[in-house]
């Protein structure tokens, strides 16, 4: 695939910083300033089994697990856990109180002496999957992606299915194979049958792909039989992460009729280590595209607060930028996806994760997977390839809200056993 033209500086490349400065002296434009404050879970080499909650500030992690009394936030017990789940479960009022207290701690110069020993350079810590994933759903919400993929997978049918503009299509994925950024991704073995194959073949996928997506993390649960309305979205959804829905296109193309993706996607899904609270995106809200059909009342967001988010994603393969998918172009919003997911009375659990679907914009350098970028022809991923997604959103007063990164390197498929070879 051709590299993207006219590169802009990656938000991950923090501007130059002099070594004499401390963890709280951020360079101008650092995307992890006081308006971002994403939560993660880390450990340090001296205590590798002690997982602690931290917040990212610049290129450091501030340990929140045992803050000194002068800056101890309300609900500090929730921050002493080894995962974010207790904080997620606590609900929006608590999320806001904790975030306000953390912001006050990192911005008040009088606290710096006390907090500096609790700051670890990112390079010195191990980042872990920050929450225990409950259920996992993946949507299909980009009109551009759905149209492009529809043409490739179903050249004789209409690109968009008849239901596409009436409901956000999704499928249930595999929560147990969600992995944190940096985890290697092993090429899956599986069954495939191309148009020229007389019978199905078995072996390593030859069409391994990525999907650049945004994940939404559910905090507060809901009750069974009680749908979550559009305007209750922010009572339930805690925050946002980056997500790569690794996809074996050959396995997927053969297996997906009629129930949708299965083994072609369930071998691994990577997420970023940082969960950014929704409140960080207040300045980045956008109106979704105009609706082409009237929506049923439970999905009709015409009078709702703008449901889109202006996240600018960048996809690199082996360090070379291949795409810049714009999340603001998504047809269906996360609030509509949540309303649809629960309209039948299905309940939410703390730690549920739902992904936006591949983010593809209208332009050729805005496509969120290699299938689209190469018009179905490949090349797809080779063993050893490393794929990284980064993103940022506009914040207050020209600040950037960084989402960190989700990265993974492809490892060779396991050797086939006697029954499989």
Ligand X SMILES: O=C(O)/C=C/C(=O)CC(=O)CC(=O)O
b/e burial code for range 136-154 (CB count within 10 A of at least 16 → b):
bbbbbbbbbbbbbbbbbbe
Which helix or strand (DSSP H or E) is residue 90 part of? Answer: helix 85-90
Catalytic residue among 144, 145, 236, 340: 145
CB of 52 to Ca ion, least distance (A): 31
Work out which of 30, 245, 250, 301 binds ligand X, going by CB under 6 A: 245
Q: Which residues contact 331 (CB under 8 A, 6 or more apart)?
A: 141, 142, 143, 165, 288, 289
Give the torsion sign (CA, 179, 180, 184, 185): positive
Residue 140 interacts with which of Ca ion, Mg ion, ligand X, none, CB < 5 to 8 Å by class: ligand X
Which helix or strand (DSSP H or E) is residue 337 part of? Answer: helix 334-342
Residue positions forming the annotated binding site for substrate: 140, 154, 252, 256, 358
- The neighbour count for residue 128, using CB atoms within 10 Å, is 16
Q: Which residues contact 345 (CB under 8 A, 6 or more apart)?
A: 224, 225, 226, 227
DSSP state at residue 11? T
Q: Which residues contact 204 (CB under 8 A, 6 or more apart)?
A: 187, 188, 189, 412, 413
CB of 145 to ligand X, least distance (A): 5
Q: Which is nearer to ligand X, 119 or 133 (CB)?
A: 133
CB of 410 to ligand X, least distance (A): 18
CA distances from 205 to 186, 316, 377 (A): 10, 21, 15
DSSP state at residue 100? H
Q: Which is nearer to Ca ion, 85 or 205 (CB)?
A: 205
Work out which of 189, 269, 316, 337 binds Mg ion, going by CB under 5 A: 269
CB of 246 to ligand X, least distance (A): 10
Question: What would the x/- binding string for ligand X be over residues 209 to 228, using CB under 6 A?
Answer: --x-----------------
* Residue 372 touches Ca ion, criterion: CB under 5 A: no
**Span of 13-21, 156-164, 260-268, 355-363 interacting with Mg ion by CB under 5 A:** 260-268
**Span of 12-20, 45-53, 205-213, 225-233 interacting with Ca ion by CB under 5 A:** 205-213
CB of 232 to ligand X, least distance (A): 25
Residues 109-168 interacting with ligand X (rule: CB under 6 A) = 138, 140, 145, 149-150, 153
* Residue 187 touches Mg ion, criterion: CB under 5 A: no
Q: Which residue is nearest to ligand X (CB)?
A: 357
Residue positions forming the annotated binding site: 138, 140, 154, 211, 213, 245, 252, 256, 265, 269, 358
Structure-block tokens of residue 329: 């172009």
Q: Which is nearer to ligand X, 40 or 357 (CB)?
A: 357
Alpha-carbon distance of 203 to 192, in angstroms, equals 8
Using alpha carbons, select from 107, 11, 12 the residue that is nearest to residue 55.
Answer: 107
* Residue 211 touches Ca ion, criterion: CB under 5 A: yes
CB of 170 to ligand X, least distance (A): 8
Residue 153 interacts with which of Mg ion, Ca ion, ligand X, none, CB < 5 to 8 Å by class: ligand X
- Asked about 145 being catalytic, the answer comes back as yes
- The neighbour count for residue 92, using CB atoms within 10 Å, is 17
> Which residues bind to Ca ion, rule: CB under 5 A?
138, 211, 245
Give catalytic residue positions. 145
> Which residues bind to ligand X, rule: CB under 6 A?
138, 140, 145, 149-150, 153, 211, 245, 247, 256, 261, 357-358
């Amino acid at each position: 695939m051709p590299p993207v033209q006219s590169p802009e500086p990656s938000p991950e490349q923090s501007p130059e910083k002099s070594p004499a400065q401390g963890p709280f002296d951020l360079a101008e434009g650092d995307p992890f300033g006081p308006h971002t404050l994403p939560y993660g879970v880390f450990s340090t080499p001296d205590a590798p089994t002690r997982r602690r909650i931290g917040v990212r500030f610049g290129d450091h992690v501030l340990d929140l697990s045992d803050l000194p009394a002068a800056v101890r936030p309300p609900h500090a017990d929730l921050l002493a856990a080894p995962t974010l789940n207790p904080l997620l479960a606590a609900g929006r009022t608590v999320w806001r109180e904790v975030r306000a207290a953390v912001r006050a701690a990192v911005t008040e110069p009088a606290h710096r002496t006390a907090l500096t020993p609790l700051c670890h350079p990112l390079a010195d810590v191990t980042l872990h999957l920050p929450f225990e994933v409950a259920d996992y759903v993946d949507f299909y919400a980009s009109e551009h992606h759905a149209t492009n993929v529809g043409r490739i997978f179903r050249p004789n049918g209409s690109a968009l299915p008849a239901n596409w503009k009436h409901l956000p299509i999704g499928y249930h994925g595999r929560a147990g194979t969600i992995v944190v950024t940096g985890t290697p991704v092993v090429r899956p073995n599986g069954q495939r049958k191309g148009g020229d194959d007389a019978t199905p073949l078995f072996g390593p996928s030859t069409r391994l792909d990525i999907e650049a997506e945004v994940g939404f993390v559910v905090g507060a649960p809901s009750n069974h039989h009680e749908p979550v309305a559009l305007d209750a979205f922010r009572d339930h959804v805690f925050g946002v992460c980056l997500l790569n829905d690794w996809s074996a296109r050959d396995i997927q193309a053969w297996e997906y009729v009629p129930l949708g993706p299965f083994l072609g996607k369930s071998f691994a899904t990577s997420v970023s280590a940082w969960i950014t609270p929704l409140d960080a995106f207040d300045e980045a809200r956008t109106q979704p595209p105009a609706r082409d059909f009237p929506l049923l009342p439970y999905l009709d967001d015409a009078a709702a607060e703008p449901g889109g988010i202006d996240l600018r994603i960048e996809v690199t393969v082996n360090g070379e930028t291949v795409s810049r998918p714009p999340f603001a172009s998504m047809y269906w919003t996360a609030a509509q996806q949540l309303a649809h997911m629960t309209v039948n009375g299905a309940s939410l659990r703390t730690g549920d994760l739902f992904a936006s679907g591949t983010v593809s914009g209208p332009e050729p350098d805005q496509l969120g997977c290699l299938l689209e970028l190469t018009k179905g022809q490949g090349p797809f991923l080779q063993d050893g390839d490393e794929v990284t997604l980064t993103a940022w959103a506009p914040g207050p007063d020209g600040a950037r809200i960084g989402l960190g990164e989700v990265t993974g390197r492809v490892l060779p498929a396991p050797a086939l056993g006697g029954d499989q070879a």
